[in-house]
Amino acid sequence: MKRVIVTGAAGFIGSAFVRRLLEQRPEVEVWSLDVLTGVAGHLGNLEGVGGPRHHLVRGDVCDAALVQRLLAESDADTIVHLAAETHVDRSIDGPGAFVRTNVLGTWTLLEAARLRWLRPGHDPGGCRFHQVSTDEVFGDRWAAGRGVEGDPADEDTALAPRSPYAASKAAADHLVRSYQHTWGLPVSLSYGCNNLGPRQHPEKLVPMVILRGLAGLPIPLYGDGAQVRRWLHVDDHCDAILLALEAGRPGRAWAVGPDRGTSNLELVGRICALLDQRRPAGAPHARLVTHVADRPGHDRLYHTAADRIRDELGWRPRLDLEPALAATVDWYLDNPAWLSRVTARASWRSWTERWYGGR
């Protein structure tokens, strides 16, 4: 891995991954490709990332000419594909953009990689297309299993997505695997669970609770709040991707996550308790939690077993949930400028208007 294209590099996980790559792999040159949607993806997320080993390319992963040119000019040997529409609620609101970016965008990149890396006379041995997928593609493990302990999915479990977002990611994953099976493109995949950490857009649960908790606004909890997710600090996820690239063989997939799941009710309670400690004037923040109508088709339980990445690659999360949550809360408290820049955008104001009735 010497020349790496990271798609979706101006998003939450992409920007963390680019930082880690540049800091920890001094020999690697990085091309950050992002269309900068202005919602989750914006230049503020890459602030402070620079130097001669980093190149920012503003562009759409669905733009075949641009992607092919970038691959040729960079001579990249690795693509880490994170660019996506990522918010489940938005996929229910308008699935079209998810099909376009997540399915067509992935196909466009795969085609470019096939044309470049599998060209006659070129050895694709050192190349890798890594698809950053999600535990959501395996669908609701509650329905599949035995209540909250569920029936954990692993990397060989058949995909059974149930939201437009998850379906678009699953379609992309199928394409990725098909390029390996049909043409021998060197691919790998990781199925990540819910991430938390710096620079996540406040449309997502964790920063939403922090933002609205600090402002003394109602914190909407969908349905009964008994849905269970597995939560992982974004840096631990990035380390897993790095390991998969460097130590994992092509053609392999890895589920990435901690052992234990946490209900939304418990998670929100823990964030509120951290806010109470840090901003006692607003305590108890849990009084703001308001049960609202459930997300349509809301999956109750995601549960993937991460045994393979532990046994094969020796990966383990460095941060348990409590320190990960504390570090995340502190990052948002320490970075009010980042938060106010995001919330000043027209895209955020219209989402707030639509989603929270302007409050």
Which of 60, 85, 136, 236 is flagged as catalytic?
136
Smallest CA-to-CA distance from 233 within 301, 331, 323 is with 323
Q: Which stretch binds ligand DAU (CB under 6 A): 59-67, 100-108, 133-141, 343-351?
A: 133-141
Member of 4, 6, 10, 342 binding ligand NAD (CB under 6 A): 10
Closer residue to ligand NAD, CB minimum distance, 7 or 78? 7
Burial of 325 (0-12, 13-18, 19+ CB in 10 A): buried
Specify whether 111 is catalytic.
Answer: no
Find out whether 325 and 188 touch, Cβ atoms under 8 Å: no
| Residue 203 region by backbone torsions, left for phi larger than 0, else alpha for psi between -120 and 50, else beta | alpha
Smallest CA-to-CA distance from 7 within 84, 117, 114 is with 84
**Which H helix or E strand runs over 23?**
helix 12-24
Find out whether 304 and 135 touch, Cβ atoms under 8 Å: yes
Neighbours of 1 (CB within 10 A): 18
Find out whether 118 and 187 touch, Cβ atoms under 8 Å: no
The site map against ligand NAD for 148-187 (x = CB under 6 A) is ---------------------x------------------
Query: Which residue shows structure tokens 């490709």?
Result: 33
Binding to ligand DAU in span 37-96, by CB under 6 A: 86-88
The site map against ligand DAU for 220-259 (x = CB under 6 A) is xxx----x-x------------------------------
Pairing of strands 187-192, 128-134: parallel
Closer residue to ligand NAD, CB minimum distance, 108 or 186? 108
Decide: is 136 part of the binding site for ligand DAU (CB under 6 A).
Answer: yes
Find out whether 306 and 257 touch, Cβ atoms under 8 Å: yes
Decide: is 202 part of the binding site for ligand NAD (CB under 6 A).
Answer: no
Member of 157, 168, 194, 304 binding ligand NAD (CB under 6 A): 194
Binding to ligand NAD in span 103-122, by CB under 6 A: 105
> Which residues of this chain interact with ligand NAD, rule CB under 6 A?
7-8, 10-14, 34-37, 40-41, 60-62, 82-86, 101, 105, 132, 134, 169, 192, 194-195, 201
> Which residues of this chain interact with ligand DAU, rule CB under 6 A?
86-88, 134-136, 193-194, 204-205, 208, 220-222, 227, 229, 264, 295, 302
Which residue numbers are catalytic? 135-136, 165
